[in-house]
Structure formats: C-alpha cells, structure tokens
Amino acid sequence: MRANDLVARYGGEEFAVILPTQSLKGAATVAERIRTRVEQLQVPARLAGGHQVTVSIGAATALPSMDTSPSDLVATADAALYRAKHMGRNRISLPLPEPGRD
C-alpha cells in the first residue's frame, strides 16, 4: 500500500479500496493481487461446506470534475462488482466502456 491508499469497510460484506491517482490498469493490478492473496489463504467458508472464502472485486476510476460525483464512481464500481459476481465470483471486473467512447 502507498501512504495515501485507504481500505475501509463499506457495508456488510463490502470494502472500498481507495487508490488516489491510480489508473484503471493499476487498479486492476491491485484488485487481482488482493483476489489472489485472499484465495491463497484458503480460509474455509463457514456457511458453505467444502468451499473457501473468495472475493469478487469491481474496480472503477474517475477524474474529478463538475460533471461527476462520488456517487457516480461508487455506482460504476458497484455495477462492476455485481458483474463479477454474476460471471461466477472470485474474479475482478472493470467498468464497461461507455457507448461512443474509445
């Protein structure tokens, strides 16, 4: 972790990892590192017999502007998180490209 990075609980089973001045590629690298390290711990899931604790991660980035709000960033990350869960869990997901943007 860098000095300005922050990890905080954000709801019941959710956490937010704030990585100031990080690119989406860099955020994806950090997310995959977190996912892999949790998987390597091989912690038994108490309520899922025979399964281990894993994480699904939705990553998103934003540049501050008058046209975006913090809630926009959270909504983008949340959509990516639920896409990761829908795709089978224990994975990371990035935001879908916006139509008309390359």
How many Å apart are CA 72 and CA 11, to the nearest integer? 17
What sign results for the dihedral spanned by CA atoms 76, 96, 79, 23? negative
* Per-residue confidence (pLDDT) for residue 30, from 0 to 100: 96
Of the spans 60-64, 67-71, 74-78, 94-98, which averages the highest pLDDT? 74-78
Q: Which of 13, 14, 32, 98 is catalytic?
A: 13
**32 annotated active-site:** no
* Per-residue confidence (pLDDT) for residue 63, from 0 to 100: 87
pTM of the model: 0.86
Range 65-93 average pLDDT:
94
CA angle 87–88–91, rounded 5-degree value: 85
* Per-residue confidence (pLDDT) for residue 47, from 0 to 100: 76
Least confident window among 8-22, 65-79, 87-101: 87-101
Ordered structural domains, the chain, with CATH: 6-93 (3.30.70.270)
